[in-house]
Amino acid sequence: MSFGGRLSIVLGLLIVVIGFAVWGVVGFLLPQPATVAFTSSSPGAPIDMTVQTVGSIGNGYGDHPTWVSYLVKNPQGQWIHSTIWQVPAHTRINLTVEQFDSGSPLRNQQWGRVQGVTGNVMTLNGKLVRVYDSNSNNGVGHTFAIPTLGINVPLVGVDPNANNICSQAPCSAPSSVVNIIKASFVTPGPGNYPWQCFVPCGLGWLYGNGGPMSTLGYMGGFLDVVS
């Protein structure tokens, strides 16, 4: 690779790091959503976590009913509008994502590669996927990515022409079209690990990177790993 190519990669990574630092500081200073805590049934036992992504959070979830968002199902089975999740260290997390939003081609195809999870593979509606071509079918709606842990899971979009796209969270199937994505990973030692969607989906904001993309509780949050 040429010097210019290497320099471009270094500068790109530097921008990502600076962006995360700024986002983390801003997130620390602003009011934060409630922490949803998960505990193992016994020491070392895996944890099942279910989240969903929706194209519009709807009324009843704050001041931005039209914003795209994540929700998480707490251990009591209730859908919570929070992106701060507490989990134990060195524990297998079986993640299920109910993806109710439509997608588009990725600006960076690297985000279509499944990375950092068990086997570097996910299942999409029961089928194994290692790399998803976002230029095919319905594209990618969002990603679940924890850069400091090397984790990236592309969340494939639903058919934008479906007549039952969910417009009010929490969404449910089969009343709404959905893609079910599953992957597992093992948590590291204690720490606060930022995670984020890397598909610019802040409609109406410059390059799609404002609004929900830069606000805790919507398209980014923290994995709070505790001992």
More reliable by pLDDT, 105 or 24: 105
> Which amino acid belongs to residue 220?
G
Q: Are 203 and 68 in contact (CB under 8 A)?
A: yes
d(CA 97, CA 116): 16
pLDDT tens sequence across 57-111: 998 888 899 999 999 999 999 999 999 999 999 999 999 999 999 999 999 999 9
d(CA 177, CA 110): 26
Q: Are 97 and 53 in contact (CB under 8 A)?
A: yes
Q: Is pLDDT of 37 > 60?
A: yes
